[in-house]
Structure 1
Amino acid sequence: MTIYVHLVRHAQGFHNLSAANHQLPDPDLTPLGEQQCAALRDAFPHQEALTYLVASPMRRTIYTCLLSFAPAVAAGKKVIALPEVQEVSNLPCDTGSDPARLAAEFGPAGQVDLGRVGEGWNDKSADSEWAPEMDKLEVRAKKARVWLRELGRKGPQEGTGDVHVAVVTHGGFLHFLTDDFDGLNPDMGTGWANTECRSYEFVEPEGVDGDAKLKETSASWRMRRGSATGLTETEQMEIRIALKGRLKEEFGGV
């Protein structure tokens, strides 16, 4: 059995249109964003094989998951909202809604499991575990990977051989989740396009690796990078050092 984790950056939200829109709290998807979801829905090759759906509890990520993986939702798969994969910054656009609002918006349809979204999940103050600090981001990325691996190890659907987990998260956090800063555009805060999907496996799927490290599948890498080679460990570290300084400068992180 192989656990495949298909990582997706959310579709375009209104905060992506301008810097001024970063002040919008937990913004909606734009009409173009909804079109991007439809395109991903039609292009994603594993709709029928999906075992689990996971999304950041931000509204744009939940809607991206519901729309992009609509066939799986229609087949009865619930979107599991996972606070650990919320976005990095403490800007209004990257700060989630209170659990009560999310329950009112997504609860009646019964398509989203909000069981892990408790009070304080959207508190990004300096003393919070969700603050935009390098060490805290690395800790929650590790927690997210370990949780996803345990989810995958519950096994595939009856009659299938592999597990396919779709995870919709955010451009900045994807670099921490994958522990890969290759392609990071400092001005954009990410190297991932809206609704870009990359596929990964666990380096140690049986749980030997305490960090639950991910590696991009060769097919996924070839599709987007061809024969190119990734960054060296030294180059990755240099980006980490620069990013730590940027977090401290912009958000007060350390």
Structure 2
Amino acid sequence: MPPTIVLIRHAQALHNIQSYHALPDPDLSDLGRQQAAELREHLKVHLPADRKVQLIVVSPMRRAIQTCLIALDWLIDSGVPVVPDARWQELYPKPCDTGTPAPQLAAEFPLIDFSGLDPVYPDKTSPAGAQYAYAKEAILARGQSALGDLYKRSEDVIVVVSHSGFMRTAVAGRWFANADYRVFDFVDRQREGVEDDEPYRLVEWELTKGKGGLGTSNDAEVGFGEDLPGL
């Protein structure tokens, strides 16, 4: 049976305050750190007690890593591994949405192993980084690749810390406010007779349907690929 997926958007970062999009790979703001701490206390109470989180996947951008280390430290301390995955980075080629090279990240965040991170990261503009390009086809393919890998895993529950734009347009079709989360199950492809070439899809739990687990997100649904540029 495919794992249950908890999707978390990073807490407020410095570029979220006044749209400082020229700020490279920004850190969390003071409010963002507070939001992440509040999310931590919420998740400790509201994640289903009969389910076991066995893996954390995180975007390798600073704001996602910092949110992960604050909000999920209690899981990390219990031995849950953290895997950075470039596919979960944000969409855009702006400085604020372009990451930091792995050697620098490894020095900043020694608790996380970056050795398995795609060596092309953080490139998303050259031919080498084409799979991370800001283009509809590439973004949708990245979402399917990320979901396909999770679908095949054996863990009971996987928590992912990522970004609003990517999760909204390529993964879940739902909005995420800063530090809010949603819980999903996969459509079971074998049980439902889904063909191999059909996309992976998620079904949201009633627990978070509408405005998200914290009740702070927009409740509108979004079409996959909506407003993304073509090639």
Coarse TM-score class (shorter-chain normalised): 0.7 to 0.9
Distance, in Å, in 2 between the alignment partners of 1:177 and 1:236 is 9
Q: Which residue of 2 aligns with 1:56?
A: 59
Indicate the structure (1 or 2) with the bigger Cα radius of gyration: 1
- State the distance in 2 between where 1:202 and 1:37 align: 26
1:85-100 pair list within 5 angstroms:
85-100=88-103
1:170 to 146, 159, 163: 163
The 1:132–1:222 alpha-carbon spacing in structure 2 relative to 1, beyond 3 Å, is closer
CA displacement 1:202-229 (0-9 Å, x = unmatched):
0026595643211111332166499xx9
**1: CA distance between counterparts of 2:93 and 2:211?**
33
Runs ≥4 residues deviating over 2 A = 45-49, 176-179, 205-212, 222-226
Structure 1 unaligned regions, length at least 5: 156-162, 183-190, 248-252
Does the 8 Å CA contact 2:106/2:113 hold for their aligned counterparts?
no
The one-letter amino acid of 1:236's match is: G
Give secondary structure in 2 for the equivalent of 1:195: coil
In the TM superposition, residue 166 of structure 1 has moved relative to its aligned partner by 0.8
For structure 2, list consecutive stretches of 5 or more residues without a partner in the other structure: none
CA-CA distance at 1:148 after TM superposition: 1.2
Match of 2:106 in 1: 103
More helix by share: 1
> Does residue 1:217 correspond to 2:216, yes or no?
no
Give the structure-1-normalised TM-score: 0.77
RMSD over equivalenced CA pairs, Å:
2.6
Percent of paired sites with the same residue: 31
Q: Distance in 2 between matches of 1:28 and 1:78?
A: 22
**Number of the residue aligned with 2:147:** 145
Give the number of aligned pairs: 217
Q: State the match for 1:185 in structure 2.
A: none
Report the Cα distance in structure 2 between the residues aligned to 1:98 and 1:73, rounded to whole angstroms: 23
CA 1:102–1:133: 2 relative to 1, 3 Å: same
Contact conserved, 1:149 with 1:205, CA < 8 A, in 2?
no
The amino acid that maps onto 1:130 is Y
